[in-house]
A and B are shown apart, each in its own frame.
Chain A
Amino acid sequence: MEVVPASVGEACRRWDDERLHLQSAADGIGAAPTDGFTGEVAGTAGRFTAAWTRLAGDLGQDCGRRADGLRTALAEAVAADEDAAATLAPYLREVR
């Protein structure tokens, strides 16, 4: 059986953090004001911020998938190894 070290749990939490960071980045892009541009530019600026809100959100979801993947590995390790459970079980909970 493959050994799953505690660093996997730490990385899992970091990926969760990155998901939040990218979501806040997406929110920031979405909130960026576009009404200061001239009429010739404002529409394109709005399309840009809308597109990048999605792009940043997609990157955030990617981070979430990485965290979920690591949680799966952690869960399997916890289920298979009682000794590992004590160390790894706390990481199974999605903190944020």
Chain B
Amino acid sequence: MTTVLLPAPPAEIPPLDADPEAVRQCGSDLLVASAQVDDLGTFAAGPARLGDWDGDAAAAYHEGIRPTGRRADAASLALRGVAQRVDAHADELESLLERRVGLADWRLHLARHVADLRERVASATADEAAALRTEADALRGEVTSFAGDLARWVEDVGAEEQAMVLAFTRVLTFEQVEAAYGGVADPADAALATRPPAGASPARVHAWWLGLTAAERAAITAAAPEAVGGLDGVPARDRDAANRVSLARDLAQLGAYAEAGDLTRDEERLLRNARAAQEAVDRIEDGVDPVTGEPVVAQVYLYQPGAFGGDGAVAVAAGDLDTADNTAVVVPGFGTDGASAPYQGDRAVRLHEAARSLDPSETNATLFLIGYDAPDNLPPDGLDAAGVVTEQLATAGGERIADALDGLRALRPDDPTHLTAIGHSYGSTTLGHAASDHGVPVDELVVVGSPGLGGEVDSVDDLGVDPEHVWAGANSRDPIAHLADDGWLGLGTLDGAGLGSDPVEDDFDANRFAAEDPSRGPGPDLDQHSLYFDHDTESLHNIASIVNGDHGDVRPADHVHDPWHGLPEDPEDDRDPTSPDTLVGR
């Protein structure tokens, strides 16, 4: 009989029953509450103090609110600290769960090896004994090494649990909160005092933000999310964190007003915009990355529900703006305001899906940018004569869009993304103004369903973008695209009543791409204006290919020609539309 000392089977791994995402949600909820408590402290120290009220009652009031403010300040710091610790706990749980998976794989391998060795030892001859002993010794060493790693993992789990419990228990009462945080300055205040002045370049803001400590950035995110949520130059992931605090706080507080049954008209619009922004986030996060099968990441890049007289400004990305190889920014047009966010979110997801699907080797982020005051009225409900068929809003909006694109570009000075700006409808007019009036730092400029890029833009040469990278798509049945000037006489904006030259005309000299839809009828149809971002359309296929920089995959279309002796001629009028697959493998 052969004698070989076999190693003991590796020990069982204790379970780790935890849900990091639920833990993260807990942290988020606590952080939002801390922001609300912080607001009370700010109110008590500022607007609640009434400089025009004198006398004994006033003195008693001011004396009385001082402790309220102090308690609120201390409580907000305490709650914020716990919220951030909970968020870090979620990260640590994810790490521990990953380590457990690795340990489980290792343990399975060792257990099989031990069992296999046991079987071979049982039937081994004397000649095989020496080799088996050597193998057993080596395996014993591995099992011992595994036991060491397992012990460290168990120890780390226990230490993390204890640290989390301690963070919870050290501030369970007002007395504990006061002892730990009473009179403590909020690190957000000192950090905000160093913020670059309004109008500072995104690059300067970027440098400032990265120069803060992690604790200072986290403090600002919780205490003053509105200070950085729309600040160009702040990384997208940090803007997202700040804007989500603002959004959740608005939903909670305005929702409370609504439940109390008394919303002012302005508050009604704020709540409408907040709910629309949340719906857009939800719809994007409901999307599935066609390459990985994972949910699409959403980033709230801009959230200002009261902007533009209550119309609201909001921008949400499908994908990670801080890391994507290719970034697309969609500037929408007619009828767009904060309430349009879910619709625009759907478009962003579809473009994101198409771009990912058509080139799985690269990563993408697709941002819809409701970031200027767009004309409210959409045909056939009515054309806002003051807003739609003139350029006033596009002129003002162009500066905002140019600033936003500058901000996106500044995010990654050392790792530039391939940046594409896409203007749809009146958004193309606004994008045209952004480019021609201010310059835009984009790699590709795309317009679809365009009524013109502004009276000063007669050709690609007026845009300040490499003409090889200016693209235009127009469905031949889209009546909005027909608003653009095809006049051989060059009437331009018809003294303010139009929006500029037709970007798909030969004289304009953009790269025209195919954008017909199989559903088109014989004549103009407003529905065709809204199909450019639908799956399995020529338009979406071509836009996604441009976004990915895959110019060879773009299907070109012949330009509109406007002869002196007759009406404009569009070669796309009688071409049979195709339906390319934009979501491969669905």
Contacts and interface: CB of A to CB of B under 8 A. Distances in A.
A59 interface: yes
A38 B50 contact: no
Interface in B91-113: 93
Q: Which 5 pairs between the two chains have the least Cβ-Cβ distance? A: A36-B22, A2-B55, A36-B19, A32-B29, A25-B36
B50 A5 contact: yes
B75 A32 contact: no
A18 B40 contact: yes
A80 interface: no
17 contacts: A2-B57, A11-B48, A29-B33, A29-B79, A36-B90, A37-B18, A37-B164, A39-B17, A41-B168, A44-B164, A51-B173, A55-B75, A55-B177, A58-B174, A59-B72, A70-B61, A96-B257
Given A34-B26, A63-B68, A70-B61, A27 B252 contact: yes
A95 B260 CA distance: 9
A51 B169 CA distance: 10
A81 interface: no
Given A24-B36, A48-B168, 15 more contacts: A2-B58, A4-B57, A11-B48, A18-B39, A22-B40, A24-B253, A27-B252, A28-B36, A29-B33, A32-B33, A37-B23, A38-B17, A44-B168, A47-B168, A69-B61
A32 B30 CA distance: 7
Contacts, number: 159
Nearest to B65: A66
Mostly helix, strand, loop or mixed at chain A's interface? helix
Contacts of B21: 36
Contacts of B248: 28
Interface of B: 16-26, 29-30, 32-33, 36-37, 39-40, 43, 47-48, 50, 52-58, 61, 64-65, 68, 71-72, 75, 79, 82, 89-90, 93, 157-158, 161, 164-165, 168-169, 172-174, 177, 248, 252-253, 255-257, 260-262
Contacts of B55: 2-3
A40 B257 CA distance: 38
Contacts of A5: 50, 52-53
A58 B177 CA distance: 14
Contacts of A66: 48, 61, 64-65, 68
B25 A36 contact: yes
Given A73-B61, A96-B260, A41 B164 contact: yes
B50 A44 contact: no
B255 A24 contact: yes
Given A11-B48, A40-B161, A62 B68 contact: yes
Interface in A1-52: 2-5, 7-8, 11, 14-15, 18, 20-29, 31-41, 44-45, 47-49, 51-52
Contact of A28 (B33, B54, B71, B262): B33
Contact of B16 (A18, A24, A38, A55): A38
Contact of B53 (A4, A15, A24, A51): A4
A34 to B, nearest CB: 6
Nearest to B86: A45
A15 B43 CA distance: 9
Contacts of A96: 257, 260-262
A2 B26 contact: no
B55 to A, nearest CB: 4
Given A2-B58, A38-B17, A59-B75, A44 B68 contact: no
B203 to A, nearest CB: 37
Residue with the highest number of chain B CB atoms closer than 10 Å, among A5, A20, A37, A55: A37
A61 to B, nearest CB: 11
A95 B261 CA distance: 9
